[in-house]
Amino acid sequence: MVDIPHAGRIYPSDFEPLVEPNAVALTEDRLVDVLFAPLMDHARYTTVSRVGRSYLDVNRPRDAGSGVFRRRTLDGRKLQADVGVDAARKRLTLWDAYHKNVDTARRRTIAQHGWGVHLNLHSFPSTDWHTAGCPPMPFEIEVGDLNGRTGGRLTRHLVRALHGEGFRVGVNETFKGGEIVRRGRTEQAIDTIQLEVRRDLYLRDDLYLDWSKMISSRRRLMRAIFGAVSEAYAQPSPQKAA
Contact call for residues 26 and 74 (beta carbons, < 8 A): yes
> What are the backbone angles phi and psi of residue 25, rounded to the nearest 5°?
-60, -35
Residues found in the chain = 242
Confidence of residue 128 (pLDDT cuts 50, 70, 90): confident
Question: Average pLDDT for residues 97-114, to the nearest whole number?
Answer: 95
**Whole-number average pLDDT of the chain:** 93
* CATH code of residue 174: 3.40.630.40
pLDDT cut 70: percent of the chain above it? 97
Given a cut of 60, whether residue 241 has pLDDT beyond it is no
pLDDT cut 90: percent of the chain above it? 85
Closest listed residue to residue 90, CA positions, set 15, 27, 28? 15
User: How many domains does the chain contain in total?
Assistant: 1
Q: What is the pLDDT of residues 7-66, one digit of tens each?
A: 999 999 999 999 999 999 999 999 999 999 999 999 999 999 999 999 999 999 999 788
Residue 147, SS3 per DSSP:
coil
Q: What is the pLDDT of residues 142-157, one digit of tens each?
A: 999 999 999 999 999 9
132: left (phi over 0), alpha (psi -120 to 50) or beta: beta
Confidence of residue 238 (pLDDT cuts 50, 70, 90): very low
Confidence of residue 235 (pLDDT cuts 50, 70, 90): low
Residues 6+ apart with CB under 8 A from 49: 4, 5, 6, 7, 8, 56, 58, 94, 98
Name the residue type at position 175: F
> What is the span of the domain harbouring residue 143?
2-240
Contact call for residues 61 and 5 (beta carbons, < 8 A): no
Q: What is the pLDDT of residue 207?
A: 86
Neighbours of 40 (CB within 10 A): 17
Confidence of residue 177 (pLDDT cuts 50, 70, 90): very high
Confidence of residue 185 (pLDDT cuts 50, 70, 90): confident
Q: What is the pLDDT of residues 190-221, one digit of tens each?
A: 999 999 999 999 999 878 999 999 999 999 99
